Each structure stands twice: as C-alpha cells, then as structure tokens.
Amino acid sequence: MGRCKKNRFIQRAPHFHGFTTRGLKWKHDTDVFLNYEEYEAINLCDYELLTQEEAARMMKVSRPTFTRIYESARRKIAKAFIEGHDVRFIGGNVEIISWYKCDTCKISFTLQKDSPMACPLCKNELITESH
C-alpha cells in the first residue's frame, strides 16, 4: 500500500516522549505509537477546542484526511488507556511551524522553509525563536 508522503503542518512537537502506565502487575511489552500528526490532532481538537474544520486548516490537510488522523489518534489512545499500554510519540510526515519574534517591532511570525531568517515587516535579522 502506498503511503502518503505529503507533509502535515503542526504548531509544536510534543515536549516529552510519551506516557508510561502505572500499577500494572503484568505489563504489555507492546507500546502504542502515536505519531506527531495524531498528537497535533488531539491537541487542536480536544485541548485547543478547535472544530475539525479549523484544525484541518491549521494542519493544511483536507477535512476527511484530518478526520482520519484524529480518529486514528483516538483509537490508539483508547487502546492504551483501556488495555494498559505505554504510549510513545514518534515523528511522521510533519513539518513543524516555528514561531519567531522580531526584536525590533515585536511582531510574531512564522517562516517558510526557504525564506530568509528575517522579520517580514522590517526585514531586521534580529529575531528570536519563541515557543
């Protein structure tokens, strides 16, 4: 089966590697792998409380594609939650959108991969990456 190589856009990667279960006498040795786009789908819909329509736009994917990612994420989390699996975050076809702040005019902005590292407004190169 061909795999879609198209990048999805995410605002941030998870700042930790996953979850471990607690208090299990017998532990599954099979981890559940949640990729970054699935993590972002949960972030956008269930944490930031965007609609699926808005979330799809943020990740630059079609609405049906978003729904597929989101449902896959929910199923994996439910499986881990109910059966007691560790969850590990792994990459995926994602491009992480970094936010920058101009030191001069204080605006926040994102940059495309190939664009110059400078403020789009005043062209100043004194910019700081913000998280």
DSSP assignment of 57-104: HHHT--HHHHHHHHHHHHHHHHHHHHHT--EEEE--SEEEPPEEEETT
Q: How big is the CA angle at 64 (ends 61 and 66), to the nearest 5 degrees?
A: 50
The least distance separating Zn ion from the CB of residue 96, rounded to whole angstroms, comes to: 22
Question: Residue 104, interface with Zn ion (CB under 5 A)?
Answer: yes
Please tell me the count of residues contacting Zn ion according to CB under 5 A. 7
- Would you give the binding string for Zn ion spanning residues 109-128, x where CB under 5 A is met? ----------x-xx-x----
Between 96 and 121, name the residue whose CB sits nearer to Zn ion: 121
The least distance separating Zn ion from the CB of residue 105, rounded to whole angstroms, comes to: 4
